[in-house]
């Protein structure tokens, strides 16, 4: 069976991403229809709290092609941040003089690191394909990144709303490249949460008010 030029390009993009240090690269289209109603309801219930920016630019957030005209595909990446050094929260609970800093904040500002690496990925892709239009994102614009990551097969959305990878949990950053390239899309992975409600049961503030809904 011959490999199509399109499939070969997809694989080249993924290989470049891995070469640049991303742990996973997935590709999806721009359709987020199935997320519209739930996101609007979440906003209407004021579950976004003081994060007023989440209620702005709804149409652009839910329609990537409105955010970046001519967008046809979204390249999603995963960058792991779990490190073994440091203490776990449970080890510090009884030490009033100690504070716990989340692992994702222990290193360099991930926004800068991710943006530079995504830009390098986009630049190398543009060397393969002439006249590629694109824009890179990493938690910096109205992008429904968890929904896109799930569609691209990066992982599945757990009941705590984070994206989960079966081997690496949720210890990773997400980034996206909106592009006008028409690429083959990856398939979502199976949701492995099943009947488990551990994240809901142990949430110290009961913020997970229902499966997949965080207040």
The catalytic residue positions are 139
Question: H/E element holding 38?
Answer: helix 33-44
Cα radius of gyration rounded to whole Å, the chain: 18
26: Cβ contacts below 8 Å, ≥ 6 apart: 75, 76, 77, 78, 149, 152, 153, 154, 186
Q: Which sign, positive or negative, has the C-alpha torsion 29, 130, 133, 136?
A: positive
List own/partner pairs for 10-16 with CB under 8 A and 24 or more apart.
Answer: 10/183, 10/184, 12/128, 13/75, 13/121, 13/125, 13/183, 16/121, 16/124, 16/125
């Amino acid at each position: 069976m011959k490999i199509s030029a399109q499939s070969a390009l997809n694989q080249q993009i993924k290989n470049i991403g891995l070469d640049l240090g991303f742990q996973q690269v997935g590709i999806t289209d721009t359709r987020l229809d199935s997320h519209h109603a739930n996101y609007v309801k979440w906003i209407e219930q004021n579950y976004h709290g003081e994060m007023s920016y989440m209620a702005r630019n709804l149409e652009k957030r839910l329609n990537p092609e409105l955010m970046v005209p001519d967008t046809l595909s979204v390249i999603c990446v995963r960058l792991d941040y779990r490190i073994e050094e440091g203490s776990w929260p449970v080890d510090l609970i009884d030490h009033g003089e100690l504070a716990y800093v989340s692992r994702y904040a222990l290193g360099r500002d991930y926004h800068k690191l991710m943006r530079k690496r995504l830009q390098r990925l986009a630049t190398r892709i543009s060397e393969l394909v002439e006249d590629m239009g694109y824009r890179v994102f990493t938690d910096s614009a109205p992008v429904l990144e968890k929904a896109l990551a799930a569609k691209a097969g990066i992982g599945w959305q757990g009941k705590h709303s984070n994206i989960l990878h079966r081997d690496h949990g949720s210890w990773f950053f997400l980034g996206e490249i909106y592009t006008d390239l028409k690429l083959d899309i990856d398939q979502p992975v199976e949701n492995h949460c099943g009947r488990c409600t551990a994240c809901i049961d142990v949430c110290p503030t009961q913020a997970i008010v229902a499966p997949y809904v965080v207040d």
